[in-house]
C-alpha cells in the first residue's frame, strides 16, 4: 500500500507540473508578443543611437534634481493614496459582503462606475469640486486644487471599487461559522475578527493594495490636471518627455526605472502573500449577507453610505449637472453632428466602438487570465511559476504611454503588422484587464481544498474534468466579477488607446480627451455629456453582471 503511494505521488506531481506549464504557454506567448516586445522596442529606440547603446543616460537622467523630485513624489503619493483608500474602502467591503439592504445591487454598480471613467474626466470632476469656482469654493471659499489632498481624494474616488470588489468578493464567501465558533469559545467580536477573518482576508487585502498602489504609482490624468506645475508622477513625466519635448532617451530611462520599481514591489508582494495563503472554507455568498443587527452595524452602514455619497456620488453628480447646463439637451444633440476638426465621425459613434472593443478585450482577458490563474493555483510551485505570477502584474505598473507608443513602433511589420487592424485596441486593453482577472480569481482558487481535486483525480477524472467539476462551481462568482472588472477597465482605458485608436473609430475616453483638449463651452459640454453616457453604459453593464452573479452563483 505504501509502495503504491510512493509511485503515484511523483507521477501526479509530474502530471501536475506538465499541466501547469501547458496552462502557462498561452499567457506567456501573449505577454511576450504584446507587452515585452513593444516595451523593449520603445526602450531600445530611446537608448540606442547609431547601433550603440547609451547606458550612460541612466546616470545622467537620474542625477537631475527635478527627476529625483518626481521619483520621490511618485512613491510618496502612491503609499499615501493606498493607505487612505484602504482606510475608507475596507468598511465598504464589509458592508457589501456581510450586510443586506435595499438597493444593494444598484449601489454596488454605482461604486464601480468611477473606476471606469477616464482619469482625465476624474481630474476634471474634482477640479469642478475643489478648484476655482468649484463647489467648495462657492460654499465655503475653500480651494484644494494644485494640492496633494485633491490628488489623494481623487485617487480614493478612482480606486474605491478595487478594494470593495477584490476584498468583498472573498469576504462574502468566507464561512461566518468559523468566526462564530471563536466567539463561542470566549473571544470578543473584535478578537474573533482579528484572529480568524483578518488572516483569511490577508491575500485579498494585499492584492487590492497592490493594484491600488500600481494605479496610483502610474497615475496620469488625475495628477496632470490637479497637480498643476507643482506635482508630477513618473507617468506624467514620461508623457511630457515623449509628446512635448520629444526626448525619447529620457523617457526610456524613466520607463526602465518604473519597470524596475514595479518589479521589485511585485516580487515582495508574491513572497509575502504566498506565506500567508491557506485553504479556506467557502460558502455561497448569497447566504452570508444579513440585515443589519444592532446599533453598531446600522451606524457602520450609515457611515459607509455617507462616504459613498460624498466621495463617489457627488463628483458624478457634478458631471451630470455640467452636461445639462445648456437648454434642450444641446450638448447631447451636438454629439450626433460631424465635426471634421476633431473627429471623422459623429462623437456618438464612440459608444458603439467602446462596447465592441471592451467585449473583445474582456474575452481575451478572461481566457488569458483564467489560464494564468489556473496555472498558479498550487502553492508549491517553483521559482519560475512564482516569477510568472509577479510578471502578470507588470502591465499595471508600466507606463501605458510606453505600451501604446511601443505598439505603433513594434507591431507595424510582418508577421505582426497590426497597426491598421481593429484588434490592436482590444489587445492593449486586455493587457490591463488580465491582472485583474488573475488577482480576483487566484485567492478563491487557492482557497479551494486541494484534497477535493486529488480525490477527483484518484477517481479517474482528467485535469479538465477536475477543473470543470471541482474548481468552476466554486469560482463561478469570482469569474463573473473578474469579467466585469475586465470589461470596466477596457471601457475606461486611455493611456495606450489614445495612441492606437483610429480617427474614424475613437473610444469614449479618447473622444472625451479630445473634446477637453479644445477650447470652447460646446466642446467642454460635449465631453461632460460623453462622460455621463459612459457612466450610464457602465452602470447598466454592471447591473446586468450583478443580476447574473446573484442568480447563477453555484452552491458551495
pLDDT at 2: 47
Q: Phi and psi dihedrals of 301, rounded to 5?
A: -60, -45
Instruction: State how far the Cα of 236 lies from the Cα of 70, in Å rounded to an integer.
Output: 9
pLDDT at 86: 94
Q: How confident is the model at residue 347 (pLDDT cuts 50, 70, 90)?
A: confident
pLDDT at 160: 92
Q: Tell me the three cell numbers of residue 30.
A: 501573449
Q: Worst-scoring range by mean pLDDT, 181-195, 236-250, 429-443, 502-516?
A: 181-195
pLDDT at 134 exceeding the cut of 70: no
The answer to whether 16 and 454 have CB atoms below 8 angstroms apart is: no
Residue-wise pLDDT tens digits, 5-14: 444 444 445 5
| DSSP summary character for residue 327 | G
The answer to whether 510 and 498 have CB atoms below 8 angstroms apart is: yes
Tell me, rounded to whole angstroms, the distance of Cα 123 from its chain centroid. Answer: 18
pLDDT at 8: 44
pLDDT at 11: 46
Q: Tell me the three cell numbers of residue 196.
A: 480568524
Instruction: State how far the Cα of 449 lies from the Cα of 439, in Å rounded to an integer.
Output: 19
Instruction: State how far the Cα of 405 lies from the Cα of 197, in Å rounded to an integer.
Output: 44
412 beta partners: 417
Query: Averaging pLDDT over each range in 132-136, 345-349, 397-401, 535-539, which range is the top one?
Result: 345-349
Residue-wise pLDDT tens digits, 299-331: 888 999 999 998 888 888 888 887 888 888 888
Helix (H) or strand (E) holding 496: none
pLDDT at 7: 42
pLDDT at 383: 65
Q: Which residues contact 344 (CB under 8 A, 6 or more apart)?
A: 338, 503, 504
48 beta partners: 53
> What angle is formed at CA 265 by the lines to CA 170 and CA 448, rounded to 5 degrees?
25
pLDDT at 63: 80
pLDDT at 242: 75
Supply the pTM of this predicted model: 0.73
Q: For 101-129, what is the mean pLDDT?
A: 78
pLDDT at 431 exceeding the cut of 70: yes
Q: How confident is the prediction for the chain on average, in pLDDT?
A: 77
Q: Which residues contact 506 (CB under 8 A, 6 or more apart)?
A: 343, 345, 347, 349, 350, 353, 514
Helix (H) or strand (E) holding 233: none
Q: Tell me the three cell numbers of residue 71.
A: 521619483
The answer to whether 154 and 84 have CB atoms below 8 angstroms apart is: no
Residue-wise pLDDT tens digits, 23-78: 788 888 898 888 888 888 877 877 776 666 676 777 777 788 888 888 999 999 99
pLDDT at 165 exceeding the cut of 80: yes
CB count in 10 Å sphere of residue 69? 12
Q: How confident is the model at residue 536 (pLDDT cuts 50, 70, 90)?
A: confident
How many Cα neighbours within 13 Å face the side chain of 489? 32
Q: How confident is the model at residue 196 (pLDDT cuts 50, 70, 90)?
A: confident
The answer to whether 268 and 403 have CB atoms below 8 angstroms apart is: no
Q: For 148-174, what is the mean pLDDT?
A: 85
Amino acid at each position: 500500500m505504501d509502495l503504491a503511494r510512493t509511485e503515484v505521488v511523483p507521477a501526479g506531481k509530474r502530471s501536475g507540473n506538465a499541466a501547469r506549464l501547458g496552462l502557462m504557454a498561452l499567457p506567456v506567448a501573449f505577454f511576450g508578443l504584446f507587452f515585452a516586445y513593444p516595451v523593449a522596442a520603445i526602450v531600445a529606440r530611446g537608448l540606442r543611437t547609431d547601433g550603440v547603446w547609451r547606458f550612460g543616460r541612466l546616470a545622467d537622467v537620474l542625477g537631475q534634481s527635478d527627476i529625483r523630485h518626481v521619483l520621490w513624489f511618485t512613491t510618496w503619493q502612491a503609499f499615501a493614496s493606498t493607505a487612505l483608500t484602504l482606510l475608507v474602502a475596507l468598511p465598504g467591503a464589509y458592508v457589501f459582503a456581510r450586510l443586506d439592504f435595499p438597493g444593494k445591487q444598484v449601489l454596488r454598480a454605482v461604486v464601480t462606475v468611477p473606476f471606469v471613467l477616464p482619469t482625465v474626466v476624474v481630474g476634471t470632476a474634482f477640479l469642478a469640486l475643489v478648484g476655482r469656482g468649484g463647489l467648495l469654493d462657492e460654499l465655503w471659499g475653500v480651494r484644494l486644487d494644485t494640492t496633494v489632498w485633491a490628488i489623494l481624494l481623487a485617487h480614493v474616488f478612482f480606486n474605491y471599487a478595487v478594494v470593495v470588489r477584490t476584498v468583498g468578493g472573498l469576504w462574502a464567501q468566507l464561512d461566518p461559522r468559523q468566526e462564530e465558533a471563536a466567539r463561542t469559545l470566549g473571544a470578543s467580536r473584535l478578537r474573533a475578527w482579528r484572529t480568524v477573518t483578518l488572516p483569511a482576508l490577508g491575500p485579498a487585502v494585499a492584492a487590492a493594495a497592490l493594484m491600488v498602489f500600481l494605479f496610483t504609482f502610474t497615475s496620469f490624468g488625475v495628477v496632470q490636471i490637479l497637480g498643476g506645475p507643482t506635482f508630477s508622477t513618473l507617468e506624467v513625466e514620461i508623457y511630457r518627455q515623449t509628446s512635448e519635448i520629444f526626448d525619447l532617451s529620457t523617457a526610456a530611462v524613466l520607463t526602465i526605472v518604473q519597470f524596475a520599481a514595479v518589479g521589485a514591489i511585485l516580487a515582495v508582494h508574491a513572497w509575502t502573500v504566498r506565506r500567508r495563503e491557506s485553504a479556506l472554507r467557502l460558502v455561497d455568498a448569497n447566504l452570508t449577507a444579513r440585515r443589519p443587527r444592532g446599533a453598531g452595524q446600522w451606524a457602520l452602514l450609515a457611515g459607509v453610505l455617507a462616504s459613498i455619497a460624498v466621495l463617489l456620488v457627488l463628483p458624478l453628480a457634478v458631471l451630470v449637472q455640467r452636461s445639462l447646463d445648456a437648454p434642450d439637451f444641446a450638448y447631447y444633440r451636438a454629439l450626433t453632428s460631424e465635426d471634421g476638426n476633431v473627429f471623422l465621425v459623429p462623437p456618438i459613434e464612440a459608444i458603439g466602438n467602446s462596447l465592441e472593443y471592451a467585449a473583445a478585450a474582456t474575452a481575451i482577458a478572461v481566457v488569458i487570465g483564467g489560464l494564468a490563474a489556473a496555472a498558479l493555483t498550487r502553492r508549491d510551485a517553483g521559482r519560475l511559476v512564482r516569477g510568472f505570477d509577479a510578471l502578470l502584474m507588470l502591465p499595471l505598473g508600466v507606463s501605458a504611454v510606453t505600451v501604446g507608443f511601443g505598439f505603433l513602433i513594434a507591431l507595424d511589420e510582418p508577421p505582426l503588422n497590426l497597426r491598421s487592424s481593429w484588434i490592436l485596441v482590444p489587445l492593449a486593453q486586455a493587457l490591463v484587464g488580465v491582472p485583474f482577472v488573475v488577482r480576483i480569481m487566484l485567492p478563491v482558487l487557492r482557497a479551494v481544498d486541494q484534497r477535493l481535486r486529488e480525490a477527483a483525480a484518484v477517481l479517474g477524472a482528467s485535469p479538465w474534468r477536475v477543473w470543470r467539476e471541482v474548481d468552476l462551481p466554486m469560482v463561478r462568482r469570482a469569474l463573473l466579477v473578474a469579467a466585469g472588472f475586465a470589461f470596466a477597465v477596457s471601457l475606461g482605458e486611455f493611456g495606450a488607446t489614445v495612441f492606437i485608436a483610429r480617427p474614424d473609430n475613437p473610444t469614449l475616453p479618447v473622444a472625451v480627451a479630445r473634446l477637453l483638449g479644445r477650447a470652447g463651452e460646446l466642446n467642454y459640454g460635449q465631453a461632460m455629456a460623453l462622460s455621463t453616457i459612459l457612466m450610464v453604459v457602465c452602470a447598466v453593464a454592471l447591473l446586468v453582471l450583478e443580476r447574473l452573479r446573484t442568480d447563477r452563483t453555484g452552491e458551495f
